[in-house]
């Protein structure tokens, strides 16, 4: 049997209509969405399947993505019995990974990431926060520029290490905008300020850290069934104590996604991405030669199971 790892996408993977194929074809999906609606008082059928403005708001985006990822994973587990070597997620996706690892119930996780989204929004309210995508620069060059700019008073940090030559920055939008030409002069092929009002994985979220901790304490279980790879350290953890510290620090530290994949690619034969779209599958093509399958609807579920049986 193949050795596999489960991986879960983060914010930015959402689209209207995500999870609808699961909902229309799976009792598991219908039940999970119904229970989520009851628990949070959010109409998830409306949020996921109908045109609305809420799906783009962090406090709604996060539970929506986690719910669809957890549904995809639950349906897969129902159809195919296999224990992964480890699980990991990109940013918010680490919470979906925790659900898969048995570290938290999915309903508790939905409540948790809804709170997380609110705390992130509150921390950045009125601050003029933003994020920027950079393509074509080495990490060390970006880090050096950010460090120099912070010394001169600007608030900019590396936030997501997605793959070689692709980094996302976080900080004050005005400061990021002022550095577009600086990064291009340094050799960036693209430097694009994103349409976001929250600055993830940087010091602007420091106030959210202490707000989140009590909920981590309340909802996380003591023991995990599977190791989770931390975004902060790119190393495995499997206890509640570690999780509370690492998930709190994840808010203000960069996501080491490419480091995590590279560090553990030799432990598996295949990665499987669970949730909407194929964002991580696309990144993995540039990071590793280990293939990535995906489960985003019933058709991709069938194809993934077929590939695992080959």
With a CB cutoff of 8 Å and minimum separation 6, the contacts of 36 are: 42, 44, 63, 67, 106, 107, 110
The length of the chain, given as a count of residues: 310
With a CB cutoff of 8 Å and minimum separation 6, the contacts of 184 are: 191
**Domain 4-123+204-309 grouped into CATH 2.40.160.100:** no
| Tokens of residue 193, six digits | 């300020």
Q: Is 201 noted as a catalytic residue in this protein? A: yes
Q: Is 259 noted as a catalytic residue in this protein? A: no
Set 91, 200, 230, 296: catalytic member: 91
What is the predicted pLDDT for the residue at 1?
83
Per-residue pLDDT of the chain (310 residues; tens, 9 = 90+): 899 999 999 998 899 999 999 999 999 999 999 999 999 999 999 999 999 999 999 999 999 999 999 999 999 999 999 999 999 999 999 999 999 999 999 999 999 999 999 999 999 999 999 999 999 999 999 999 999 999 999 999 999 999 999 999 999 999 999 999 999 999 999 999 998 889 999 999 999 999 999 999 999 999 899 999 999 999 999 999 999 999 999 999 999 999 999 999 999 999 999 999 999 999 999 999 999 999 999 999 999 999 999 8
Nearest to 200 by CA among 115, 106, 116: 116
Per-domain residue ranges of the chain: 4-123+204-309, 129-196
Radius of gyration of the chain (CA): 19
Q: Which class does domain 129-196 fall in?
A: alpha beta
Set 201, 260, 296, 300: catalytic member: 201
pTM of the complete model: 0.96
Alpha carbons 81 and 94: distance in angstroms, whole number: 22
pLDDT tens digits, 18-43: 999 999 999 999 999 999 999 999 99
pLDDT tens digits, 126-135: 999 999 999 9
């Amino acid at each position: 049997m193949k050795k596999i790892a489960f991986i879960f996408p983060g914010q930015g993977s959402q689209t209207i209509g995500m999870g609808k194929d699961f909902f229309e074809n799976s009792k598991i999906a219908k039940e999970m969405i119904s229970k989520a609606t009851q628990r949070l008082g959010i109409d998830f059928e409306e949020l996921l399947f109908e045109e609305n403005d809420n799906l783009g708001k962090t406090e709604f985006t996060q539970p929506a993505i986690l719910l669809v990822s957890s549904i995809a994973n639950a349906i897969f587990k129902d159809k195919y019995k296999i224990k992964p070597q480890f699980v990991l997620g990109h940013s918010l996706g680490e919470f979906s990974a925790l659900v898969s690892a048995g570290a938290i119930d999915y309903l508790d996780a939905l409540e948790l990431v809804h709170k997380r989204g609110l705390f992130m929004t509150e921390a950045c309210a009125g601050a003029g926060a933003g994020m920027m995508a950079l393509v074509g620069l080495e990490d060390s060059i970006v880090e050096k520029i950010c460090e120099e700019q912070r010394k001169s008073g600007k608030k900019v940090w590396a936030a997501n290490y997605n793959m070689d030559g692709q980094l996302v920055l976080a900080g004050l939008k005005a400061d990021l905008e002022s550095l577009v030409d600086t990064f291009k002069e340094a050799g960036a092929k693209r430097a694009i300020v994103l349409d976001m009002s929250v600055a993830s994985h940087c010091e602007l979220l420091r106030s959210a850290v202490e707000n989140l901790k009590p909920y981590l304490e309340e909802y996380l279980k003591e023991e995990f069934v599977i190791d989770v790879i931390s975004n902060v350290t790119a190393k495995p953890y499997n206890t509640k104590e570690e999780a509370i510290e690492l998930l709190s620090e994840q808010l203000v530290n960069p996501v080491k996604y490419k480091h995590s994949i590279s560090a553990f690619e030799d432990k598996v034969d295949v990665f499987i991405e669970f949730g909407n779209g194929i964002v991580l599958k696309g990144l993995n093509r540039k990071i590793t030669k280990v293939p990535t399958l995906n489960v985003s609807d019933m058709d991709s579920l069938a194809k993934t199971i077929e590939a695992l049986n080959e």
